[in-house]
A = this chain, B = another copy of it.
Amino acid sequence: MMNFERFDQLMLEKKYTLLKEELLNVLPADIADFISRLDEKQALIVFRLLPKGIAAAVFSYLTKEMQAMISYLVNEKELASIMADLYFDDKVDLVEEMPANVVKKILKNTSEVERKLINQFLMYPDFSAGSLMTIEFVDLKKEMLVKEALERIRKTAPDKETIYTCYVTDATRHLEGTISLKDLVLANVDKKVGDIMQKDPLFVNTHDDQEYTADLFKKYDLLAIPVVDNEQRLVGIITFDDIIDVIEEENTEDFYRMAAVQPTDEGYINASTFQLARKRILWLSILMISATLTGLIIRKFENALQSVVVLAAFIPMLMDTGGNAGSQTSTMVIRSIVLGEIEFKDMAKIVWKELRVSLLVGSTLSALNFIRLYFLERHSISISITVSFTLLLTVIISKVIGSILPLTAKKLRLDPAIMAGPLITTIVDAIVLLVYFYSASWLIGIPI
């Protein structure tokens, strides 16, 4: 979004002091964007221009490749200084994602206590709340006065990822309540924290799914949520900025599933040819093999087709329309399930709705199609009726199937996103062909 011409110019002229000054007027995320466009040598030069406080922030916004490169090239002292300033969740991500030689160097520059903690965090399953949390939160005690709490916040704030929600724990680190900085600022300074905190706060367990965690943020408009272990001890917090990433990740997963791609960790641009192929072959093969069913149906009606070969010409149009009509419905239903608007018990209501919609849509398309076939292309009345009638049934059947399957998947605790376009199309195709040939035999009077 930014224009880096000015910085490029200063780089070219080697005016590094001036470049440094101007970079400091820019946000860390933008500095990271600028560095990411440079080659290794230049990137390292610019990164080394950054003062200590900003370097770690910029580092956390860099691409994985750039992080690996810089971690590898800087000296031990520089790396130790970046590490010291990174938030703990970024540190864990780094250790998880960097190549082995870089990880070795990173761990060498962390204290033993922290090394142990990093290893513990690395054990939380992917996509769990534990894998998202950070340890830099403000913890308070019930007995503290508001003024003492504010003093503690003031002292520890520089190292905390958020100070806007604080966490009240007992002597054994059990979570007793939360209190917002807003409430602390508004309260009488001589009140006790325990008297004004929110008791029974929302929390998640380290092993809860990240999607469930994101749903809580959306529902309750949270800034942060505490994470507890199996003994209900507070072990970390998750902040809203990480949740925004989770929401986009979950959406990407749904987009992929709905297009018959197995979700991937690597993202599109970083994945290798082989990784991409592997994520696509399974579903393509399954769908290809299922499509042999349609081939069998056509072969069963080979004689009918040979006697009225023009019937073949409408097969693609019927199949495509069925697939599209089914995708429309399944997409809308899947999305409504994901957003928590509908559940399995709404099945009857949804199917009834789709029946009415498909009757409206189907008859419009059917009429359009009849006009084209009979009046414009001058096909026989029996052919025109056969195709138009099949089209109407196609739309109705595909929309009903498109609404039933995702809801059923949800009921069976499968991801509804699997029941999207590609699978629906394959199922609808077979049904469409059967309807088509039986209608033809009935309306045109060909033997089957």
Contact = CB atoms under 8 A, between A and B. Distances in A.
Interface in A356-407: 356-357, 360-361, 364-365, 368-369, 372, 395
A303 B154 CA distance: 85
Given A157-B186, A288-B369, A255 B255 contact: yes
A263 to B, nearest CB: 11
A200 interface: yes
Contact of A284 (B150, B268, B361): B361
Nearest to A183: B157
| Identical subunits present | 2
A392 to B, nearest CB: 12
A276 interface: yes
A259 B421 contact: yes
B425 A154 contact: no
A219 B309 CA distance: 58
Contacts of A372: 289, 292
B273 A356 contact: yes
Contacts of A309: 302, 305-306, 309
Contacts of A369: 288
Given A341-B269, A357-B277, A244 B260 contact: no
A25 interface: yes
A333 interface: yes
Nearest to A395: B284
A320 interface: yes
Of the candidates A200, A309, A364, the one having the most CB atoms from chain B within 10 angstroms of its own CB is A309
A241 B222 CA distance: 8
A185 to B, nearest CB: 6
A332 interface: yes
A331 interface: yes
B331 A255 contact: yes
Interface in A1-41: 1, 25, 27, 29
Interface in A402-444: 421-422, 425-426, 429, 433
A217 interface: yes
Q: What 10 pairs across the A-B complex have the smallest Cβ distances?
A: A259-B331, A294-B316, A221-B241, A291-B317, A277-B360, A295-B313, A298-B313, A273-B356, A268-B336, A259-B327
28 contacts: A150-B185, A157-B186, A163-B185, A221-B244, A240-B240, A247-B248, A256-B335, A261-B328, A261-B331, A268-B336, A274-B360, A276-B332, A277-B364, A280-B325, A284-B321, A285-B368, A288-B368, A291-B317, A291-B320, A292-B372, A294-B317, A295-B314, A298-B315, A305-B309, A305-B312, A306-B306, A306-B309, A323-B323
Given A267-B341, A316-B429, 17 more contacts: A29-B221, A157-B185, A163-B185, A223-B223, A255-B334, A259-B331, A268-B333, A277-B361, A283-B328, A284-B321, A284-B324, A294-B317, A294-B320, A295-B313, A295-B316, A302-B313, A319-B320
